[in-house]
């Protein structure tokens, strides 16, 4: 890691604390401290606490800060204690040294590898993603900081959306508040914490539940969390989809919560597992609704399978009635959720880009979007799939979520646009293959873990037959575990990381902000008064003056609603010398400065952003006084004479 990243260490540790400490307090209050699996749910609980706290704070007159988080944490701890007393004392044997080492060692190793991957992708600690959606994300963080309000109703004000999922934003703003770092640094370090801590922890939680806390499963799941470019790197590259990244990182915990509910042995235990699942659903849903839809789809299919198997075993009328009623309720709820989650045709016009057969192969090997496969992970996936198909029926519980995710990816990437089934199923994801590709590692890792465990068990049987000294199998297991973490440098993840890195490079031809534009924005605190209002074209990145320099801009986002005056100014500011109406609009809007970043836009297309062409390539005049410039295209004007 470059020495420049040293400034990111404190905010990264704060971000980890934000995702760890509230949930850890709840786990210690509600579970036996010797039970290791509940600790792995701490990030999901913490995310729910922060997101809920951010939504409650303005309702009770509190500014967004660690105080609402502390209040909600105390309330959650009280509920956890009450549930623990109702459930009764747990009889949990002390975890073995091997299991504890697998949990801690696996998590640390995964965090180090994913941290290295993401710091490579991000290029520098304060580099920004040069992508379309980053305009709204960066400005929304600045807005929530200025307003001391990170609720779902406040976050959307950047783009005039009444309600916007706030899980990611609440975490980033806490990091920025607690450390005082810049918005880009708070964003990057929080994303590092999500990728390097939340994601592998959540993956290990699912492995712990599916494989009964087995040490080998914890190690393998930790290693495999580093192995796939489709998540988390792909969503930190395309879009950029920060809220989706937050939500998807929690999805394995959500699937684990569903399994805990289904396998609970008594009413009280089922109630506690149900409350945990509701908390995780809140964390996922408040981070991104389409991730909640994915969790609902996975959970519904797993639940129907489990209930169906139970009904076939018991074969009594009451069981069939209960199972049928639950099935009808789940399917009806699912239909309502999919109807509610539909996106408009202008936003969901993404088409297929490959054949159905190609899509099937990419899904099976978790190598979407044409990126190369990593041989080791591909073999583990294939072994796992064979075991699921040929093995005991209970293994289908592991394969069902993967089957659902693969089905959706095949539909969206390999079936022509306009197909009824494709639009029915994948529309809530904007019919976008990137968003659905990222679900493949979430559900595919348990399949690969199953494949790895079968190889481990087979190898142990062979070694026992050879009557080797005890140290030999132990040494072989250690070497295999260490070697497995090499998948973090496999072809699939390295190719994705190399492509993603291009989106964070700051240079003369960067899509959203060039190096000249970045330097000019860094000087705004010296060249523009704090109370100024800047006309800036969001298409060219100029509106990031708000996020990066703290100077208010007329329009924060490309798709924000515009008044008639704003639309007129966007189209006609370059006529300020000849059209007196321009000055009239400038006065009504109280605009005092203009940032002109030329005509290059985030899509690098001549047909994009034409509705704001009046803000581009301005000419210095008596009305437009040049205040500062950097290079040929980055210029700051002060409006005078209006």
Tokens for 81, please give them: 């204690």
Note whether 184 and 513 are within 8 A (CB). no
Question: Is position 386 within any domain?
Answer: no
Single residue among 234, 263, 287 that ends a domain in this structure: 287
> Looking at 10-24, 240-254, 457-471, which range is the least confident one?
457-471
Specify whether the CB–CB gap between 195 and 114 falls below 8 A: yes
Handedness of CA 151, 154, 156, 162 (dihedral sign): positive
Q: With CA atoms as reference, report the closest residue to 582 among 563, 604, 567, 561.
A: 567
Average pLDDT rounded to a whole number, residues 281-310? 95
Of 353, 351, 359, 299, residue with least CA distance to 330: 299
Angle separating helix axes 289-314 and 242-263, nearest 10 degrees: 20
Q: In the predicted model, what is the mean pLDDT of residues 307-329? A: 87
631: tokens are: 């290079």
Q: Cα–Cα distance between 194 and 172 in angstroms, integer? A: 11
What is the arithmetic mean of pLDDT over 90-107? 86
Q: Roughly what angle, to the nearest 10 degrees, separates helices 42-56 and 167-179?
A: 90
CA distance 44 to 67: 19
CB 447 within 8 A of CB 381: yes
Got the DSSP string for 137-206? HHHHHHHHHHHT--SHHHHGGGGT-S----HHHHHHHHHHHHH---HHHHHHHHHHHIIIIIHHHHHHHH
- The C-alpha R_g of the chain, in whole angstroms, comes to 26
Output the CA torsion 317→323→325→327 (10° steps): -150
Confidence grade of residue 473 (pLDDT, cut at 50, 70, 90): low
Distance of CA 367 to the CA centre of its chain: 19
DSSP 266: S
Q: Which of 16-20, 128-132, 455-459 has the lowest mean pLDDT?
A: 455-459
Tokens 């915990």 correspond to what residue? 253
Measured from the Cβ of residue 434, the count of other Cβ atoms closer than 10 Å reads 21
Write the CA distances from 324 to 35, 283, 321, integer angstroms.
35, 29, 5
Contact call for residues 403 and 200 (beta carbons, < 8 A): no
Give the model confidence (pLDDT) of 24-63 as tens digits: 999 999 998 889 999 999 999 999 999 999 999 999 999 9
Query: Taking a C-beta distance cutoff of 8 angstroms, is the pair 569, 549 a contact?
Result: no
Residues 6+ apart with CB under 8 A from 206: 221, 252, 253, 255, 256, 259, 445, 446
In a domain, 385, yes or no: no
Residue range 393-419: average pLDDT? 93
Residue 360 lies in a domain: no
* Mean confidence (pLDDT) of the chain: 93
The structure tokens listed for 399 are 């394969």
Positive or negative CA dihedral for 285, 288, 289, 290? negative
- pLDDT of 157 > 90? The answer is no
CB 473, CB 435: distance < 8 Å: no
- The residues near 501 (Cβ < 8 Å, ≥ 6 apart) are 120, 121, 123
**Positive or negative: CA dihedral 537, 538, 539, 545:** positive
Residue 370 gets which letter from DSSP?
A: T
Domain count, the chain: 2
| Domain edge (last residue) among 231, 263, 287 | 287
For residue 499, pLDDT beyond 90: yes
Assess if residue 422 is contained within a domain.
no
Most confident of 84-88, 222-226, 348-352: 222-226
Last residue of a domain, one of 287, 310, 332: 287
Pairing label, strands 533-536, 593-596: parallel
Q: Using a pLDDT cut of 70, give the percent of the chain over it.
A: 98
d(CA 48, CA 283): 4
Phi, psi of 312 (to 5 degrees): -70, -35
Residue at 170 is within a domain: yes
> What would the 3-class secondary structure string for 493-515 be?
HHHHHHHHHHHHCCCCCCCCCCH
Enumerate long-range contacts of 267-272, CB under 8 Å, 24 or more apart.
Answer: 268/86, 268/87, 268/88, 269/87, 271/83, 271/86, 271/87, 272/30, 272/83, 272/84, 272/86, 272/87
Q: Is there a domain that residue 405 lies in?
A: no
- Asked if the model's pLDDT at residue 168 lies above 70, the reply is yes
Structural domain of residue 99, as residue ranges?
A: 1-287
pLDDT at 266: 86
Q: Which residue's entry shows tokens 């934000």?
A: 18
Residue 110 — very low, low, confident or very high, per pLDDT cuts 50/70/90? very high
* 449 assigned to some structural domain: no
Would the CA dihedral through 537, 543, 545, 546 be positive or negative?
positive
Q: Is residue 59 a part of any domain in this protein? A: yes
State the pLDDT confidence band at 1, using cuts at 50, 70 and 90. low
C-alpha 463/C-alpha 457 separation (Å) is 10
Each residue of 370-379: pLDDT tens digit?
A: 999 999 999 9
pLDDT of residue 312: 84
The pLDDT value given to residue 468: 67
What 3-state class would DSSP assign to 337? helix
First to last CA, the chain: 52
Instruction: For residues 426 and 206, give the distance between their C-alpha atoms in angstroms, rounded to a whole number.
Output: 25
Residues 208 and 221: their CA atoms lie apart, in Å, by: 9
**Exposure of 318 in the CB half-sphere (CA atoms within 13 A):** 0
Q: Is 5 exposed, middle or buried (0-12, 13-18, 19+ CB in 10 A)?
A: middle
Q: How far apart are CA 53 and CA 151, in angstroms?
A: 8
Res. 479: pLDDT tops 90 = no
Residue range 309-337: average pLDDT? 89
* Lookup: tokens for 409: 């990816």
């Amino acid at each position: 890691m470059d020495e420049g990243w040293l400034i990111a260490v404190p905010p990264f540790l704060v971000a980890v604390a934000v995702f760890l400490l509230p949930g850890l307090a709840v786990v210690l209050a509600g579970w036996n401290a010797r039970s290791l699996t509940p600790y792995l749910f701490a990030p999901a609980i913490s995310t729910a606490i922060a997101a809920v706290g951010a939504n409650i704070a303005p309702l009770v007159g509190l500014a967004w800060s660690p105080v609402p988080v502390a209040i909600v944490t105390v309330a959650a701890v009280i509920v956890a204690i009450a549930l623990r007393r109702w459930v009764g004392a747990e009889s949990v044997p002390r975890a073995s040294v091997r299991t504890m080492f697998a949990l801690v060692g696996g998590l640390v190793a995964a965090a180090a590898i994913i941290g290295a991957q993401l710091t490579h992708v991000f290029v520098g600690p304060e580099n920004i993603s040069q992508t379309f959606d980053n305009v709204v994300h960066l400005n929304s963080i600045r807005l929530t900081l200025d307003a001391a309000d990170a609720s779902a109703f406040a976050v959307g004000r950047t783009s005039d959306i009444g309600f916007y999922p706030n899980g990611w934003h609440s975490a980033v703003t806490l990091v920025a508040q607690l450390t005082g770092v810049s918005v880009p640094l708070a964003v990057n370090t929080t994303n590092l914490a999500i990728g390097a801590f939340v994601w592998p922890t959540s993956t290990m939680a699912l492995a712990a539940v599916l494989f009964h806390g087995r040490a080998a499963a914890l190690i393998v799941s930790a290693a495999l969390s580093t192995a796939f470019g489709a998540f988390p790197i792909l969503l930190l590259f395309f879009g950029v989809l920060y809220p989706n990244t937050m939500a998807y990182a929690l999805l394995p915990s959500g699937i684990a919560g569903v399994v805990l509910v289904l396998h609970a042995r008594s009413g009280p235990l089922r109630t506690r597992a149900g409350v945990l699942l509701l908390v995780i659903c809140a964390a996922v849903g408040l981070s991104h609704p389409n991730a909640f839809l994915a969790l609902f789809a996975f959970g519904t299919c797993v639940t129907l399978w489990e209930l169906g198997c139970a009904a076939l075993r018991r074969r009594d009328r009451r069981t069939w009635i209960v199972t049928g009623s639950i099935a009808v309720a789940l399917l009806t709820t699912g239909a309502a959720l999919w109807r509610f989650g539909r996106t408009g045709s202008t936003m969901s016009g993404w088409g297929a880009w490959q054949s159905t057969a190609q899509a099937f192969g990419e899904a099976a090997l978790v190598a979407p979007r044409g990126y190369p496969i990593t041989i080791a992970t591909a073999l583990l996936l294939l072994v796992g799939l064979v075991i699921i198909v040929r093995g005991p029926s209970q293994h289908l519980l592991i394969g069902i979520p993967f089957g659902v995710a693969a089905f959706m990816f095949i539909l969206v990437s390999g079936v022509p646009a306009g197909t009824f089934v494709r639009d029915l199923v994948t529309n809530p994801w904007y019919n976008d293959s990137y968003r659905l590709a990222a679900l493949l590692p979430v559900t595919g890792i348990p399949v690969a873990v199953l494949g790895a465990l079968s190889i481990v068990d087979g190898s142990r049987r062979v070694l026992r037959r050879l009557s080797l000294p005890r140290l030999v199998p132990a040494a072989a297991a250690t070497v295999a575990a260490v070697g497995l973490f090499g998948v973090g440098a496999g072809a699939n993840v390295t190719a994705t990381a190399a492509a993603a890195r291009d989106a964070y490079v700051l240079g003369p031809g960067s899509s959203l902000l060039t190096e000249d534009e970045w330097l000019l924005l860094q000087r705004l605190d010296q060249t523009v008064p704090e109370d100024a209002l800047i006309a800036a074209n969001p298409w060219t990145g100029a509106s990031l003056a708000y996020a990066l320099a703290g100077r208010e801009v007329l329009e924060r986002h490309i798709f924000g609603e515009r008044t008639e005056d704003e639309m007129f100014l966007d189209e006609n500011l370059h006529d300020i010398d000849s059209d007196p109406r321009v000055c009239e609009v400038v006065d009504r809007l109280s605009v005092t400065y203009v940032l002109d970043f030329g005509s290059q836009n985030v899509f690098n297309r001549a047909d994009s952003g034409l509705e704001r062409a009046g803000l581009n390539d301005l000419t210095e005049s008596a009305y437009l006084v040049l205040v500062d410039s950097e290079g040929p295209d980055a210029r700051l004007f002060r409006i005078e004479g209006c």
